[in-house]
Amino acid sequence: MLHLPDNLRLYLVTDDRPQLLARTEAALRGGVTCVQLRMKHASFEAFLERAREMKQLCQTYQVPFIINDRAEIAKQIKADGLHIGQKDLAYSAARRIVGSHCPIGVSVHTVEQAIKAEKEGAAYLGVGSLFPTSSKSDADFVSLDTLKQIKEKVSIPIVVIGGINEKTLPSVMPYQPDGVAMISAILSSDDPEQAARHFRQQLDR
């Protein structure tokens, strides 16, 4: 079950590097509050198999599990949520697939997109990319000023994403996002558990 906004606080988005389950479990031990499985280039079968494994892992730690983009898989495994981007499935199509009870988060890059997503029924927004990131080479950049405007215009929770790490986190925190999404800062760390614990402590202050 996805409890908003509490479960968004330290939002882990997966990469596709080796030993993902072990690194994700370490991050769960460290205190991430939800996990999104993102496998942009995987086949349906490979994604489904990994999704089943990841859901079981998240259930062990009682942390919500969210699927990126693949609405059919989110429905099949009864994921706790679905997340879609501007270049993915349209919100209305995703909603038809997953049904009325599955929360859908939407990535946005402009104020107009944010307002539209909220009107359509998005449960929360992913706002970014705020900073350059190796995890997404084709990312659309969002200024901190745009983040501020989006916060003023919508009432649903906001998760910031894109290049957020030890250096960039302090510049984001004054905008009081409901959650911070991380990929490399946790999963590429030598010690994902300790990295997650460190960021969780900063966000809980």
Active site members: 38, 107, 136
Measured from the Cβ of residue 205, the count of other Cβ atoms closer than 10 Å reads 5
Query: Are 202 and 18 contacting, i.e. CB atoms less than 8 angstroms apart?
Result: no
DSSP letter at 139 equals P
Unique residue bearing structure tokens 């200024």 = 143
Strands (E) in 25-69, as ranges, are 34-37, 65-68
DSSP letter at 168 equals T
Query: Are 55 and 75 contacting, i.e. CB atoms less than 8 angstroms apart?
Result: no
Strands (E) in the chain, as ranges, are 10-13, 34-37, 65-68, 81-84, 104-108, 124-127, 158-160, 179-182
